[in-house]
Chains A and B, each alone.
Chain A
Amino acid sequence: QKEVEQDPGPLSVPEGAIVSLNCTYSNSAFQYFMWYRQYSRKGPELLMYTYSSGNKEDGRFTAQVDKSSKYISLFIRDSQPSDSATYLCAHGGGRRALTFGSGTRLQVQP
C-alpha cells in the first residue's frame, strides 16, 4: 500500500506563529520525502526535500523525518500571510512516481 495520510485542515494561525504540518506514510521502501506548497490554481512548488531521517533547515522552514515511526513534519517559523497555501507532503524513491498526501490548507491571519 502506498498511502500518505495528511490532515486536510484548514489550519488558521496568527501571523508570526510557528506552524507544524504533519504526515504519516506506510511504504518504507521509498526513501525520498518532499514538501510542496500549492497556491490556488497553481502547480506544486518544491519547498524542501530530504533523503534521511532527522532535520533539514532552510530559512524559516524545517523538515523533519522519523523513519522509525513513518512520520514527516514541516515547521514554519514566523509565519507570514504569504505562507497561506496548501502544503503537500510526498514521498517516492529515485525515479519512481511521487505519492502525495491530500494536502493541508494553511491560513495565516495578518
Chain B
Amino acid sequence: EPEVTQTPSHQVTQMGQEVILRCVPISNHLYFYWYRQILGQKVEFLVSFYNNEISEKSEIFDDQFSVERPDGSNFTLKIRSTKLEDSAMYFCASRDEEQPQHFGDGTRLSIL
C-alpha cells in the first residue's frame, strides 16, 4: 500500500540553526499538509499546500517557517532559525480529492 515517507526520522539541531524536514507524499495525491505534535499534546495543523502554493496556514506558521515542493515528488518544511519550543514531532500528510489525509511516521525534531 502506498505511504507517505518522511526523512530523517530524528533530527537534532542547535538552537538558531536552520532545519529542513523532508516528505515524499503518496504519488497521485494533490494536497499536502504539515502538522506538529509537541510531546503530550494534540496534533496541530501548520500549513496546507495545493497547486504549488499555500492554501491555508495556522498562527503557528510564522515567518520562520516555509514550505516548498522543489520537484514532482518531495515536499519540504524549513524552519529558518530554530527555537527550543520547536522541539516536536512533525508529520507530513497528503490526500487526493474527497479522500482523507494519510500521514507519515514523522520526524522527531530535538532542539538543543
Give A contacts to B, CB under 8 Å. 32, 34, 36, 41-46, 49, 88, 90, 92, 94-103
Contact = CB atoms under 8 A, between A and B. Distances in A.
Chain B interface bracket (under 10, 10 to 19, 20 to 34, 35 or more)? 20 to 34
Interface of B: 4, 6, 31, 33, 35, 41-45, 48, 50, 55-56, 58, 91, 98, 100-106, 108
B100 A100 contact: no
B48 A43 contact: no
Contact of B45 (A32, A42, A95, A97): A97
Contact of B100 (A32, A42, A43, A103): A32
Contacts of A97: 33, 45, 48, 56, 58
Nearest to A45: B103
Nearest to B57: A97
B91 A44 contact: yes
